[in-house]
Structure 1
Amino acid sequence: MRKLAAGNWKMNGSVEDLDEVTALIAAHPAPGCEMLLCPPATLLSRMAERAAGSSLMVGGQDCHAKTSGAHTGDVSAQMLKDAGATHVILGHSERRADHGESDISVRAKTIAAQAAGLTVIVCIGETEAQRNAGDTLAVIGRQLEGSLPTSLTTAPDGLVIAYEPVWAIGTGRTPTLQEVGEVHGFIRATLTKRYGEAANGLRLLYGGSVKASNAAAIFAVPHVNGALVGGASLKAADFGPIVLALAVS
């Protein structure tokens, strides 16, 4: 299984920030794991041009479930691919909160993105209130049930699950390693019940305040096959050590 270090630039970045991409590529010509950055749509094609022929892959942060039509402001999976994307993040907690995305809509987008040939990173995670109430695994189970396709229609590496506890995103707080292991073990078991042995090939990422200082410890947890990184992916000097930690894990 090829491990994945994915960076989500969120609503950040301008053309001049693409110099960070050039620096990242130069520092990691053969990183020993898959390396991905997902910029805002305004930078996608230009980042893909910078990354052409390198070890870096480029992805989108969302897509519409339809291939085209009267959907002002939206971007289809086919458009992402045409712009140079190989991946797309779907169901991020910020999309679920800010845009009211449901598990059902995430599933529809996932199916559409896979049909377009993109690797999909589906995000799941509990709020702090849900964790404090002891509902973490129940919430994760519901999100997996509702957000994922009923069956695997692509190779296992075409679907990635990112566990991001909502309360850890951008806060500097992280679950304990035991808590990360509990959730990732639950996700793996749940996926195996749903998809059978093919689930062993699905990569499970952890996300939520991942940085150079904690990356190695997180990657040592069973069933953690990489990371979805937010703020630390904006600078090559911050993202690079995370890539290296994953490569040697």
Structure 2
Amino acid sequence: MNVTKSIGIFDSGYGGLTVFKSIAERLPDYNYIYMGDNARSPYGDHSFETVYQYTLECVEWLFAQGCPLVILACNTASAKALRTIQQKVLPFKYPDHRVLGVIRPTAEVIGNYTETNTIGVMGTRGTVNSESYPIEISHFFPELEVFQQSCPLWVPLIENNEHINPGADYFVQKYVDALLTKSAAIDTILLACTHYPLLVPKLSKVLPEGFKLVAQGDIVASSLADYLDRHPEMESRLGKENRKQFFTSGDEQVFNQNASIFFDAHVVSARVRW
């Protein structure tokens, strides 16, 4: 158990590190614990029940490490597990803890990027099938048309470091074409998976000029900063020794090598065994 409290950041694998990087740049003084459930990733094609079970196990582990606040830096977990954890677990078992996701902060601002009121959402099957983004976006921007496209092969390509190779070009083009055929008015694409920012160089080459690509890291970081400003009772509980700890349920050496690519810095992790 840590003596000083930390902000917990969870993802099924590596993608959440892109969000963690943005958060740490925006809020550098805080203590952080990152947990990647690499042994059971990817979550994208798992059922709601399985994603909920896995996510809750990781959230409770982070609670046990002294994290009163946990960010689900995973769109699939945010779509399939967050609401149930917030409504059915926290009030009864952890009333002084909070769990936040990445979908709502993104939905609150995505309408500010489009000039045609038409956006595309690219994510895992789990995120797309949940309909979480169209539902959440409609609360803040009811005039927006939202078209979705699942990209089931993007996460495996990225996690195996194949996204930088020419072989990935076909699958980038394939899913972009599938999305753009749904509406000629799309002018903004939301990357609704925290892995996908690593594909921005390839996406930028295949998208028409003027398209906006929206990643979530800076959005979530800004939302978290605002949350802490509005909740001093939580902010005062968090340690500020600028400490970062990394944990994985998979192989530490593999995690360290791949995580350094996502986090853009050297990473040393420890293994958690369930």
Place the TM-score, normalised by the shorter chain, in its bin.
0.3 to 0.5
Say which structure, 1 or 2, has more relative contact order (CA 8 Å, 6+ apart). 2
TM-score normalised by length of structure 2 = 0.34
Structure with greater Cα Rg: 2
TM-score normalised by length of structure 1 = 0.36
